[in-house]
């Protein structure tokens, strides 16, 4: 494929600063779009030849069979490499913020979302992670994951847009931000980098923490636990993005998928206390997930736990997150037990005193888009403020 010899990351990683066309953020923040040109190479999965990548029905049947455990999606590995443009939004605390911390939070969204999710769209600062973090003195960088947001949708959704390559890209990105002052588009380096994930963005923190524990100083994993309920994943009712939104995704390959039903998306991602205008906006503006993201993530070699990670970890998941916590009606304590067990399952070497969890009530999967969001932000930062 696009395999190429990489010079040192310093040469290969040319960061591009765009015009600081500030997005409407809180008064405690100064935000600007940024992009990074990242060279990376990974051993991506070769997917089972049992489906036709150009046939929407076949792609979706393949993913559903995978969720039911009926097909082994990965049959081998192959090297995939290249140079990838990764877009995002960088916000820093305004000068008036008293306590300025020398720490960057990198915010990594889940499937069918993009970097905008962390800003709460236009629904106000109560849903804006950047605004809260910046007011606490942290810098924030929300990235579009490979294939999502403003990033190219011309990459092959089967062979290229996979989590293994994503981990290598985010590794190079973090290395650049950690050590390069002038050449990265943040225009300063950070050695304290806190990885904040949501859902799939939390899931891919595991291989990053396992393979490159030195790159992060703490993890905050939201909308995630060590147990995924695959019966819920089977309800996704996927369709090709180019079928559902022909004007937004014209000609995009069939393996770029979205959720076909608004009511189903709402019932999977929202519960209890939320503004009903949000899931409607969310559905109309949803992003993609690729067949490669589903298939390669099911590979145990990829998802094995970061057993030697010792840095602070916090996990925050809505009680009624039916994919990762409990079904509505099940006691809050059951969700909290699962969050406790997540430490022993996945982070056995994170000392109990460096591990915290929080399960906001009356809250589904997209916790930062629920009424409980301010409490989630407060709890996450109370935790981080002990260390940074
Ligand atoms: C697409 O795949 C489905 C399910 O495997 C199959 O029934 C159908 O015939 C295929 N369509 C084409 C045009 O190959
Ligand atoms: C998983 O979800 C299904 C519904 O999709 C539900 O019946 C089942 O109880 C859930 N499993 C757990 C362990 O929560
Ligand atoms: C964790 O450390 C042990 C002891 O050094 C080592 O045997 C094991 O392979 C490490 N695990 C990982 C995932 O690196």
pLDDT digits (tens, 9 = 90+) for 348-357: 999 999 999 9
Instruction: Give the per-residue pLDDT at 234.
Output: 86
pTM of the model: 0.92
Whether 6 shows a pLDDT value over 70: the answer reads no
CA dihedral 347, 348, 353, 359 (to 10 degrees): 50
In a domain, 145, yes or no: yes
What confidence tier does 180 reach under pLDDT thresholds 50, 70, 90? confident
Mean pLDDT for the stretch of residues 279-300: 92
Contacts of 122 (CB under 8 A, 6+ apart): none
CB 318 within 8 A of CB 271: yes
Distance 341 CA to ligand 3 centre (A): 21
Q: Which of 67, 225, 232 to mutate to test ligand 2, by most ligand atoms within 8 A of the CB atom?
A: 232
Instruction: Give the per-residue pLDDT at 27.
Output: 63
Residue 326 tokens read as 């409990």
Contacts of 120 (CB under 8 A, 6+ apart): 126, 127, 128, 129, 368, 369, 373
Q: Which residue is listed with tokens 């809505």?
A: 318
Q: CA-to-CA distance for 367 and 38, rounded, in angstroms? A: 30
What confidence tier does 151 reach under pLDDT thresholds 50, 70, 90? very high
Q: Is the dihedral of CA 3, 7, 8, 13 positive or negative?
A: negative
- When divided into structural domains, the chain yields a total of 1
Ligand 3 atom with the smallest distance to the CA of 307 is 13
Residue 142 tokens read as 């929300």
Contacts of 350 (CB under 8 A, 6+ apart): 309, 310, 311, 312, 313, 343
Check if 267 has its Cβ closer than 6 Å to any atom of ligand 2: no
* Residue-range definition of the domain harbouring residue 72: 8-384
H or E segment at 336?
helix 332-346
CB 106 within 8 A of CB 194: yes
Distance 103 CA to ligand 3 centre (A): 28
Q: Name the DSSP class of 240.
A: E
Mean pLDDT for the stretch of residues 235-248: 94
Burial class (CB in 10 A: 0-12, 13-18, 19+), 8: exposed
Q: CA-to-CA distance for 47 and 144, rounded, in angstroms? A: 24
In a domain, 159, yes or no: yes
Whether 270 shows a pLDDT value over 90: the answer reads yes
Whether 211 shows a pLDDT value over 60: the answer reads yes
Mean pLDDT, the chain, whole residue set: 91
Mean pLDDT for the stretch of residues 360-367: 98
Instruction: Give the per-residue pLDDT at 300.
Output: 72
In a domain, 1, yes or no: no
CB 108 within 8 A of CB 170: yes
What confidence tier does 12 reach under pLDDT thresholds 50, 70, 90? very low
Whether 20 shows a pLDDT value over 70: the answer reads no
Whether 202 shows a pLDDT value over 90: the answer reads yes
Check if 308 has its Cβ closer than 6 Å to any atom of ligand 3: yes
What are the Cα distances from residue 200, in Å, to 166, 204, 218, 226, 229?
11, 6, 18, 12, 13
Mean pLDDT for the stretch of residues 79-102: 95
Question: DSSP characters for 73-129?
Answer: -EEEEEEEEEEEEEEEEEEEE-TT-S---S-EEEEE--TT--GGGGGTTTS-GGG-H
CA 197 to chain centre: 5
Q: Which ligand is nearest to the CA of 322?
A: 2
pLDDT tens readout for residues 368-387: 999 999 999 999 999 999 99
Q: CA-to-CA distance for 122 and 359, rounded, in angstroms? A: 25
In a domain, 373, yes or no: yes
Mean pLDDT for the stretch of residues 18-25: 40
Mean pLDDT for the stretch of residues 78-95: 96
CB 350 within 8 A of CB 312: yes
Q: CA-to-CA distance for 204 and 293, rounded, in angstroms? A: 10
Check if 58 has its Cβ closer than 6 Å to any atom of ligand 1: yes
pLDDT tens readout for residues 37-58: 999 999 999 999 999 999 999 9
Instruction: Give the per-residue pLDDT at 172.
Output: 96
Q: Where residue 321 sits, what CATH number does that domain have?
A: 3.40.50.1820
Instruction: Give the per-residue pLDDT at 3.
Output: 36
Contacts of 36 (CB under 8 A, 6+ apart): 13, 15, 16, 85, 86, 88, 173, 176, 184, 185
CA dihedral 66, 70, 73, 75 (to 10 degrees): 170
Distance 120 CA to ligand 2 centre (A): 29
Distance 255 CA to ligand 2 centre (A): 27
In a domain, 128, yes or no: yes
Question: DSSP characters for 290-322?
Answer: EHHHHHHHT-HHHH---TT--S-EEEE--TT-T
Mean pLDDT for the stretch of residues 322-329: 95
Whether 308 shows a pLDDT value over 80: the answer reads yes
Which residues lie across from 44 on neighbouring strands? Answer: 78
Distance 57 CA to ligand 1 centre (A): 6
In a domain, 3, yes or no: no
Q: Considering just the CA atoms, what is the radius of gyration of the chain in Å?
A: 19
């Amino acid at each position: 494929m696009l395999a190429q010899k990489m010079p040192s990351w310093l040469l290969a990683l040319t960061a591009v600063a765009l015009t600081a066309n500030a997005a409407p953020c809180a008064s405690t923040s100064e935000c600007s779009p940024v992009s990074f040109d990242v060279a990376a190479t990974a051993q991506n999965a070769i997917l089972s030849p049992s489906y036709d990548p150009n046939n929407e029905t076949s792609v979706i049947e393949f993913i559903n069979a995978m969720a039911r455990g009926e097909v082994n999606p990965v049959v081998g590995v192959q090297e995939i490499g290249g140079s990838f443009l990764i877009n995002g939004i960088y916000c820093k605390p305004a000068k008036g913020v008293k306590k300025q911390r020398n720490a960057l939070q990198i915010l990594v969204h889940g499937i069918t979302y993009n970097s905008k999710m962390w800003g709460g769209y236009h629904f106000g600062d109560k849903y804006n992670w950047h605004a809260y973090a910046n007011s606490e003195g942290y810098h924030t960088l929300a990235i579009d994951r490979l294939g999502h947001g403003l990033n190219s949708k011309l990459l092959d959704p089967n062979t290229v847009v996979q989590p293994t390559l994503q981990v290598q890209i985010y590794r190079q990105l973090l290395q650049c931000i950690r050590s390069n002052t002038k050449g990265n588009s943040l225009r300063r380096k950070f050695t304290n980098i806190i990885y904040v994930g949501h859902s799939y963005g939390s899931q891919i923190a595991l291989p990053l923490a396992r393979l490159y524990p030195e790159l992060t100083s703490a993890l905050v994993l939201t909308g995630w636990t060590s147990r995924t309920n695959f019966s819920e994943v089977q309800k996704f009712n996927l369709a090709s993005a180019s079928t559902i939104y022909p004007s937004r995704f014209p000609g995009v390959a069939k393996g770029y998928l979205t959720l076909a039903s608004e009511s189903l998306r709402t019932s999977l991602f929202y519960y209890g206390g939320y503004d009903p205008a949000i899931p409607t906006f969310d559905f109309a503006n949803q992003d993609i997930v690729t067949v490669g993201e589903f298939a390669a993530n099911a590979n145990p070699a990829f998802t094995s736990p970061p057993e030697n990670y010792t840095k602070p970890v916090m996990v925050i998941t809505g009680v009624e997150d039916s994919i990762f916590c409990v079904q509505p009606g099940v006691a809050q304590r059951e969700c909290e037990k699962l969050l406790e067990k997540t430490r022993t399952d996945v982070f056995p070497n994170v000392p109990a005193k460096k591990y915290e969890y929080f399960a906001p009530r009356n809250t589904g999967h997209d916790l930062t888009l629920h009424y409980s969001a301010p409490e989630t932000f407060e709890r996450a930062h109370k935790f981080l403020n002990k260390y940074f």
